[in-house]
Structure 1
Amino acid sequence: MSVYETEVKSPKTVEDCLIMIANIDCDFRIIAGGTDAVVRMKEGKWRPKTWINIKGIQELRFIKKVDQQIHIGPLTTHSDIVHSAILKGKADVLIDAAREVGAAQIQNAGTIGGNIGTASPAGDTIPALYVLGTVIELSSVDHKRYIPIEEFFIGPGRTVKKDYEMITNIIIQPQEENEISIFQKLGPRKAQSISIVNVAISLSMEKGTNKCVAGKIAYGSVGPTIIRAKKCEAMLTVNPLTAPHIQNIAKVAWKEVMPISDIRASAEYRRDMACSLLERGLYRLMKRWDRK
């Protein structure tokens, strides 16, 4: 990585940070855990004149229940999520996803806000947030606005966040008693690599049966942003989730995703694996439901 001159500013509070980004007159980027930033700098892609380091703003690191929702601060680390008693049984899919984010060092440093802000189609926590009905709180000096996560991303590395805004809260809808969820990832785990394909699945089940009454399926790394598999979702409630029906649902996923070929995998391979991951995830969820 070639050396370049840059300035680092470190606001101590959210208010200080919002004032800073509203008035700064040069190219800047916000940095938290830095796990994505280091990679981008090595690639020569992120070279702002100023880094705004928000790691010390402790008011942005939290997981708490608020009324019927769960609020997660953007500086909450992946390790915080994995070990959260509040999220256990209420957001299993997010815990599964956070557990798959790189090695332990990355989980300890990387933040959920950084994963969202980077807006990578391969970000592991993002499909999980899709099926949890997440809303992103964006704050500026003058106001707050709340964006459903499916409206937040507009392309690889691109979101609706304005330069003078920052993510200040991530609001999720916790699972009900009859809901089960899972995150599945294809990627060489020993290398802690980014996903070739990943999928988050959430099902609302009819008690005492294997009948699904509602479900969400969100794929990552198979399109310019996260893809909701709407046709597969519609099939979830047509018949009980027996082996033949699960196999039929998984076959439809081949046409739902829109992958490209790159150095990690071909588009055709990604389509095949999207089907396999969905099938395996549904089988695992039904086994989990049977044990309830």
Structure 2
Amino acid sequence: MMVSEIDMISPETMEECLQILNEYEQEVRLLAGGTDAVVRMKEGHWRPKLWLNIKGLRDLRFICEEKDGIHIGPLTTHTDMVQSSLLQEKADVLVHAAKEVGATQIRNMGTIGGNLGTASPAGDTIPALFVLDAVIELSSVNGIRRIPIEEFFVGPGKTVQHKSEMITNIIIRPQEENEIGIFEKLGPRKAQAISIVNVAISLKMSGDGWQCAGGKIAFGSVAPTVIRARKCEVLLTLQELNEEGISNIASLAWKEVAPISDVRASAAYRRDMSTALLERGLLRLMKRWEDR
């Protein structure tokens, strides 16, 4: 199905955009980078009565550190995140995830707000936001509310965002000096591939050999939404993260995930790859920690 003529408005301010969202009674969709929207329209989906093109709202494209964390504007592109010295220093897991989003053209156009709004369980930046305790700021003409990311998604393509709201900020916890992170992804090909399985890991090391003081693990594309691997997280501090300890932790991953079979992979394959990706990610993190 080809994309035919569509109705689109390009508001000049965020206030104008929120007013339209509040007053327009029929279905409205926000358009930022358009990397998902064009594909969905060609497939016959996402055919709202009105598109709101917010790409020109430059005030929503930023990365800065405030007292309550690192603030990222929803129109911040994946390339912006990869190139950010602040994120490289204090949110390396998000940088690693942004690097894995499609090819260069997709990273240049696609936005973090679009990734959240699409709400795909395979979204590459979302597991990284989970382990960084992200908070999603939603704005409307009635005010602002902030939602922890684990409460934001309710199913594939579904969030708690109301029709009259738009994402205006993403706030993440900066990693500490003894904290390291990584993102691992399995796709059918190297670039421009939707994840078959992905995982984000963030570890706080105790500074005493391979002993972990705490950590967070989030899997994508293995359940209706991104999930935290809490059983695996508990084991992180109960043993040294040597090869044997890492193998023990990774072997528990199959109990955490609840994948489906689809055209890209079977449920059994996704379970096996969840274990493999977690083990590979932990081994790579320990190598990096050892080399510090």
User: What is the identity, as a one-letter code, of the residue corresponding to 1:246?
Assistant: I
Give the match's secondary structure for 1:190.
coil
The superposition leaves residues 138-195 of structure 1 with CA deviations (integer Å, 9 ceiling, x where unpaired) of 0001110000000000000000000000000000001000101000000134342100
- Percent of pairs with identical residues: 66
Point out 4+ residue stretches in structure 1 off by more than 3 angstroms.
2-5, 188-191
5+ residue gaps, structure 1, are: none
> Is 1:50 matched with 2:41?
no
Contact 1:62 1:72 in 2 (8 A): yes
Output the amino acid matched with 1:65: E
CA distance in 1, matches of 2:151, 2:68: 22
Aligned counterparts, 1:22-41, within 5 A: 22-41=22-41
Native 8 Å contact 1:18 1:166 kept in 2:
yes
SS of residue in 1 equivalent to 2:80: helix
Q: Tell me the TM-score normalised to structure 1 length.
A: 0.98
How far did 1:246 drift? 0.4
1:227 positional shift: 1.2
In the other structure, the counterpart of 1:267 is 267
- 8 A Cα contact 1:219 1:228, kept in partner: yes
Residue by residue over 1:18-38, the C-alpha shift from the partner in whole angstroms, topping out at 9 and shown as x without a partner, is 111101122211110000001
Structure 1 CA distance for aligned equivalents of residues 56 and 3 of structure 2: 25
Q: Are 1:104 and 2:79 matched, yes or no?
A: no
Instruction: State the aligned residue count.
Output: 292
Instruction: Identify the residue that residue 282 of structure 2 maps to in structure 1.
Output: 282
Q: Is the 8 A contact 1:5 1:49 kept in 2?
A: no
Query: What residue identity is the alignment partner of 1:127?
Result: P
- Indicate the larger mover: 16-25 or 154-163: 16-25
> d(CA) in 2 for partners of 1:189 and 1:16?
41
Q: Which runs of no fewer than 5 residues in structure 2 stay unpaired? A: none
TM-score of the superposed pair, with normalisation by structure 2: 0.98
Q: Give the Cα–Cα distance (whole angstroms) in 2 for the partners of residues 174 and 248 of structure 1.
A: 29
CA deviation after TM superposition for structure 1 residue 12, in Å? 1.1
2:65 matched to 1:65?
yes
- The answer on whether the counterparts of 2:3 and 2:41 sit within 8 Å (CA) in structure 1 is no
Q: Over aligned residues, Cα RMSD in angstroms?
A: 1.0
- Would the alpha carbon gap of residues 116 and 261 (structure 1) be closer, same or farther in structure 2, given more than 3 Å must change? same
**1:1-292 matched pairs, under 5 angstroms:** 1-292=1-292
Query: How many Å separate the matches in 2 of 1:8 and 1:51?
Result: 5
Q: CA deviation at 1:205?
A: 0.6
- Amino acid of the structure 2 residue aligned with 1:273: M
